[in-house]
A = this chain, B = another copy of it.
Amino acid sequence: MSDDAKRLAPSRRQFLTGAAVAGAGAVAAGAAKAAAPDPLITEVQDWASGLGEGVDATPYGLPIQFESDVVRRNVEWLTADTISSINFTPIHALDGTITPQGCAFERHHSGAIELRKEDYRLMINGLVDSPLVFTYADLERFPRQNRVYFCECAANSGMEWAGAQLNGAQFTHGMIHNMEYSGVSLRTLLEEAGVSPEGKWVYVEGADASSNGRSIPLDKAMDDVLVAFKANGEALRKEHGYPVRLVVPGWEGNMWIKWLRRIEVMDQPVESREETAKYTDTLADGVSRKWTWEMDAKSVITSPSPQAPITHGKGPLVITGLAWSGRGAITGVDVSLDGGKNWQAARLAAPGTDKALTRFYLDINWDGSEMLLQSRARDSSGYVQPTKAQLRAVRGLNSIYHNNAIQTWWVTANGEAENVEVS
């Protein structure tokens, strides 16, 4: 136990008293291992009486039936059709930082299409020395990179602008996932085609009906963008752009083009639907900000939360959540139990890395009284996650996208949690 953990964690022995082994003397060292007299132990022994399932049963393994509620969920009233809609990662039920592909959120503008690797083509054209078309097999021959990055939809927490709406971290903050990508640097492919001196932007589009075209400044395209074909080691799922998607680290998810089809080098941005009518932020005076690509530092407590109430009463309690920044690494997270009046530093499970999720924990001894739980992220650029009031003072109430405000969960004395706002 680290010194930090010692300081934060009161002894748990008290709450375990009820489960202390009856007749402990009988199971002390040297006694027969199966002779424990406690009824709980007898119950445990029952599982040892039969054989389990063989190794040929599940060539590709699935979650156990008892975890069937840990799934992506969509909200029916949010969009007119599921084809152009979103579902949410069950972050309230996950731990660690990696998001399994199976429960990583989806966002489509015209549904998830099905492409074979053999049919796949990627074109690079426009202001280049040699326009090129790559097959999937071509892409596999370029030097590869591997890196963990978060992908957050710009609309994540968007419903919360006007007040506390959706009750659950999955729904308020679940348009995010975090995976280890393998792929080719976009810079490598652009250098292969040869970018003309007048090239300043790339226009990227997908093979789905929406095409979802977006303009990206050449500087970013030549920096850390990946043309990725694997996530968490295996092929991308269909719904995440199989066989090839763009990974645009730290920038809004809408730019992470799925089923990537074409990259055109241009001297100016296209000003497409996706970067004018959508994915811009309308301010109080009706004027919209655009080119708001980077996702600012943000955090959320995933447990306890409305979908993950406290069920064990007062005493030791693990408060945990996720923090991230599109502008660098998370350097710290503070947690408040009283709606932002007092803050204490949470423990980061590992040092933050650039543009990836960081898991934080605060181990407390809950006295059973109600709490207003908040978390506040800090990143390597010196930025501190703002309150909703601070964000509204600058941006007004018309926005949908880029809400990175501090979130509040009201935890009642019975351990239930609710999405609320504090003034």
Contacts and interface: CB of A to CB of B under 8 A. Distances in A.
A113 interface: yes
Contact of A238 (B33, B64, B108): B64
A349 B36 contact: no
A100 B36 CA distance: 38
Interface stretch (A156-164, A264-272, A283-291, A411-419): A264-272
Nearest to A34: B211
A188 B140 CA distance: 46
A82 interface: yes
Interface string A198-216: 0000010101110101000
B237 A64 contact: yes
Interface string A47-84: 11111111111111111101100111110000001110
Given A20-B131, A209-B49, A264 B33 contact: yes
A106 B141 contact: no
B233 A21 contact: no
Contacts of A52: 83, 108, 110-114, 208-209
A130 B318 contact: no
Contacts of A135: 19
A55 B331 CA distance: 34
Contact of A54 (B66, B111, B192): B111
A232 interface: yes
A98 interface: yes
Nearest to A353: B350
Nearest to A101: B61
A126 B74 contact: no
A96 to B, nearest CB: 4
B20 A207 contact: no
A126 B28 contact: yes
Contact of A98 (B55, B83, B141, B233): B233
B208 A47 contact: yes
Interface in A223-242: 229-230, 232-235, 237-239, 242
B98 A63 contact: no
A207 B48 contact: yes
Contact of A44 (B11, B51, B123, B185): B123
A140 B51 contact: no
Q: Bin the interface of chain A by size.
A: 35 or more
A267 B30 CA distance: 9
A100 B131 contact: no
A12 interface: yes
B350 A147 contact: yes
A71 B107 CA distance: 27
A377 interface: no
Interface string A311-355: 110011110100000000000000000000000000101100000
A62 B59 contact: no
Interface of A: 1, 5, 8-9, 11-13, 15-16, 19-21, 24, 27-29, 33, 36, 38, 40-41, 43-44, 47-64, 66-67, 70-74, 81-83, 85-87, 93-104, 106-108, 110-117, 119, 121, 123, 125-127, 130-135, 137-138, 140-147, 180-182, 185, 187-188, 191-192, 203, 205, 207-209, 211, 213, 229-230, 232-235, 237-239, 242, 259, 261-262, 264-267, 311-312, 315-318, 320, 347, 349-350, 359, 361, 363
Given A36-B123, A52-B111, A53-B238, 7 more contacts: A12-B138, A49-B209, A51-B209, A52-B113, A63-B234, A100-B100, A143-B318
22 contacts: A1-B188, A5-B143, A21-B123, A21-B125, A21-B133, A28-B125, A28-B126, A29-B265, A29-B266, A33-B264, A52-B113, A53-B111, A59-B73, A93-B234, A96-B181, A97-B180, A98-B98, A100-B100, A100-B232, A103-B234, A137-B311, A141-B316
**Closest A-B pairs by Cβ, 7 of them:** A52-B111, A54-B82, A59-B71, A21-B131, A95-B182, A24-B131, A146-B349
